Amino acid sequence: MDKVKKPNPVKSYMVITAVAKDNPNLFNELSELISETGCNVDDGHMALMGKAATSMLLLSGHWNNIAKLEAQLPSFGRKLGIQINFQRTEIARKERQQMPYLVQIVAADRPGIVFDLTNFFYEQKISVFGIDVETYTGSRSNTQMLQLAMSVNIPVDAPLPDLRDDFIEYCDELNLDAIIEPERQ
């Protein structure tokens, strides 16, 4: 008698963002629930932001495991006082005609600086796909500083020398110390 092959389970994806005030156990509690429902963390960032614990995760799992987690998240959040948002998603197809670049900035902090930088790339039709920002007080000057790392996708047909020159000139006008280089993965 021939065995009937079962189809491979369909992998589903979900993005979760969570914020908890004064709850340093957020990471442990959230990862326990994810594990119990049979889901997996594919990508994520967890950090303490002020006194709030934050988490942004990309999860995968069989469709029914994702559905089980989806059903449990609202009561889980209410029980622990965690603000949780979640949404089903799909894995993005990678564009072959783009090159990943890393932009690094260090400057005196001021309102609007992040917008200025993201807008520069938006106007050049370059997609920004990741930003990490940190502010700190300069040890010698007591000045509020900003350190930013931004990942961008530059089209392969973009004139790189012109783009690099325009970006550095733009940063010089804003008094930003900047580097743009190919991202090494």
- Establish whether domains 11-89 and 98-182 are of one fold: yes
- 3 pLDDT higher than 70: no
User: What does the pLDDT read at residue 8?
Assistant: 43
- The dotted CATH code for 11-89 is 3.30.70.260
Two structure tokens written together for 45: 């960032």
Q: What is the pLDDT of residue 172?
A: 95
At 5 the pLDDT is: 46
Burial of residue 164 (CB within 10 Å: 0-12, 13-18, 19+) is middle
Inform me whether the pLDDT recorded for 9 exceeds 60.
no
In the chain, domain spans: 11-89, 98-182
Amino acid 117: pLDDT: 95
**pLDDT tens digits for range 61-101:** 999 999 999 999 999 999 989 999 999 999 877 656 889 99
* pLDDT for res 64: 94
Reported as a single tens digit per residue, the pLDDT across 31-67 is: 999 999 999 999 888 888 888 899 999 999 999 999 9
- Spatial contact of 131 and 114, defined as CB atoms under 8 Å apart: yes
Q: Burial level of 181, CB count in 10 A (0-12/13-18/19+)? A: exposed
Question: In this model, does residue 150 exceed pLDDT 60?
Answer: yes
The answer to whether 135 and 106 have CB atoms below 8 angstroms apart is no
The CATH fold of domain 98-182? Alpha-Beta Plaits (3.30.70)
What are 95's two structure tokens?
A: 């564009």
**Predicted confidence (pLDDT) at residue 140 exceeds the cutoff of 90:** no
